[in-house]
């Protein structure tokens, strides 16, 4: 049963999703008042965000306008949203609940958490803004009522209500965090808006919604935000530490893998050149303690928390790992390094009809397998010169006219030289690596498809 509840003082309705067992039950006394008061504490702090982004995915540089949501968390204009809402933003405009509009700038971004911290550009003398309190305690349980606020489908000032379906949902996309799963409606445009409890506090940031025979939505939990927020303010990113472990929980139902150990986490492998490999970790090592503190990752649901703990270790400081190897206990010291950029630098080559990006072990692990550095074709224009030459996205650029391509800067130099000889020799030979096979393609770029 779907019952629409109109909250006093709120412009949009809230959807109450009742379970099968409660379909005929009357609402608890005072429930609507509880929801209304809780929503009223946060709703004035909800922000509609409109972003102009630079997009190279189509094979040429173009501007797109996207929208999302956010929530003010300080009276001087700090707000939380998603990374994917403001990624590659060229301009950001924010509409407050009271109708005022401000531009904003990015303070910090983290792709791994899909989290962003923004700051409104407020004129001097602006009175304190309404803001929402965050409940950083991990107290949500299945069945708790929550509200999802934001601007679904660009319809600002909207709120929906549901329950927490799962308080610790594991998704492979969540490297460092579990998710709150809710049946409160989270649609495109809700991204970045707050998930709110019945106390009127933010307990998560809405990130992902799917229609799977009903509404399934996911939010970043407040405890994860608590760990990330100070780093976003200080560094402009979380600045994750990296050791290069490939890890396996003790029990994995989906893979039908079960280790008969009471504690620890299994090392299934290490990345080439990583601190873990240099320190001597081997497949099937079982880490049972870090700096003397016992660790156990029994299931996939416990893995993001363990990775987050590793990711927040200080750079360059050796960490003592207690490891069980073939029945013997050994201690291995390894010093984490900065994870670095998780996405490669982008380049646009409009006359050639493609865009390119630097290979990155985190963003493109399938290409990093073939080359641990270099440049690959990111997007190809449908009717451009690259398409005519049968170049494809994910082709790794090895050389152009015999000149090696190892960095985006080298590609830009070769493109500039090609444009300088456009009138005399508008052809180029591309050597690319495609699915591990070396192939060559000759491009005639005498036609300017951008103008046609």
Residues carrying an active site annotation: 84, 114, 191
Size (the chain), residues: 452
Q: b/e map of 4-29 (b: 16 or more CB within 10 Å)?
A: ebebeebebebbbbeeeeeeeeeeee
Closest CA to 197 of 151, 148, 156, 158: 148
DSSP state letter for 279: H
DSSP of 378-400, one letter per residue?
Answer: EEE-TTSHHHHTT--TTPEEEEE
- Report the C-alpha gap between 3 and 17 in whole angstroms: 7
Number of Cβ within a 10 Å radius of residue 88: 16
User: In a 3-state reduction of DSSP, which class is residue 227?
Assistant: helix
Number of Cβ within a 10 Å radius of residue 172: 7
> Residue 366: which region, alpha, beta or left (left: phi > 0; alpha: psi -120 to 50)?
alpha
- Report the C-alpha gap between 361 and 374 in whole angstroms: 11
- CB-based burial label for 230 (10 Å; 0-12, 13-18, 19+): exposed
Residues 6+ apart with CB under 8 A from 312: 227, 240, 241
Sequence-ordered alpha helix ranges (H) in 127-175: none
User: In a 3-state reduction of DSSP, which class is residue 304?
Assistant: helix
Structure-block tokens of residue 193: 């808006």
- Report the C-alpha gap between 84 and 66 in whole angstroms: 10
- Report the C-alpha gap between 54 and 98 in whole angstroms: 29
Q: Which residue has the tokens 């004129």?
A: 123
User: In a 3-state reduction of DSSP, which class is residue 418?
Assistant: helix
User: In a 3-state reduction of DSSP, which class is residue 423?
Assistant: coil
């Amino acid at each position: 049963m779907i019952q629409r509840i109109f909250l006093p003082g709120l412009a949009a309705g809230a959807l109450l999703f009742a379970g099968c067992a409660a379909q005929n039950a009357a609402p608890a006394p005072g429930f609507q008042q509880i929801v209304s008061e809780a929503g009223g504490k946060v709703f004035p702090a909800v922000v509609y965000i409109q972003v102009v982004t630079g997009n190279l995915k189509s094979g040429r540089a173009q501007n797109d306008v996207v929208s999302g949501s956010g929530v003010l968390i300080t009276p001087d204009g700090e707000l939380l949203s998603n990374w994917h809402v403001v990624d590659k933003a060229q301009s950001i405009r924010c509409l407050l609940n009271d109708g005022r509009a401000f531009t904003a700038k990015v303070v910090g971004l983290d792709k791994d958490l899909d989290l962003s911290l923004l700051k409104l550009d407020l004129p001097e003398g602006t009175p304190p803004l309404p803001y929402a309190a965050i409940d950083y305690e991990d107290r949500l349980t299945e069945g708790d009522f929550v509200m999802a606020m934001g601007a679904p489908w660009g319809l600002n000032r909207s709120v929906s209500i549901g329950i927490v379906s799962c308080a610790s949902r594991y998704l492979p996309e969540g490297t460092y965090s579990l998710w709150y799963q809710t049946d409160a409606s989270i649609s495109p445009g809700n991204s970045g808006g707050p998930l709110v409890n019945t106390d009127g506090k933010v307990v998560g940031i809405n990130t992902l919604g799917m229609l799977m025979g009903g509404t399934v939505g996911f939010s970043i939990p407040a405890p994860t935000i608590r760990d990330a927020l100070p780093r976003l303010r200080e560094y402009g990113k979380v600045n994750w530490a990296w050791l290069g472990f490939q890890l396996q929980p003790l029990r994995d139902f989906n893979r039908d893998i079960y280790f008969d150990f009471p504690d620890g986490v299994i090392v299934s492998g290490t990345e080439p050149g990583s601190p873990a490999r240099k320190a001597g970790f081997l497949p099937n090592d079982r880490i049972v303690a870090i700096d003397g503190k016992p660790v156990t990752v029994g299931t996939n649901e416990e893995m993001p928390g363990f990775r987050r703990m590793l990711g927040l270790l200080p750079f360059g400081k050796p960490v003592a790992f207690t490891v069980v190897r073939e029945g013997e206990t050994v201690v291995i010291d390894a010093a984490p390094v900065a994870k670095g950029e998780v996405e490669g630098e982008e380049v646009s080559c409009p006359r050639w009809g493609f865009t390119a990006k630097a290979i990155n072990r985190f963003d493109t692990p399938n290409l990093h397998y073939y080359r641990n550095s270099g440049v690959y074709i990111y997007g190809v224009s449908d009717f451009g010169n690259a398409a005519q030459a049968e170049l494809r996205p994910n082709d790794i650029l090895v050389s152009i006219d015999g000149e090696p391509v190892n960095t985006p800067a080298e590609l830009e130099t070769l493109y500039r030289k090609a444009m300088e000889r456009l009138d005399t020799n508008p052809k180029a030979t591309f050597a690319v690596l495609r699915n591990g096979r070396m192939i060559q393609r000759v491009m005639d770029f005498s036609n300017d498809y951008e103008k046609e």
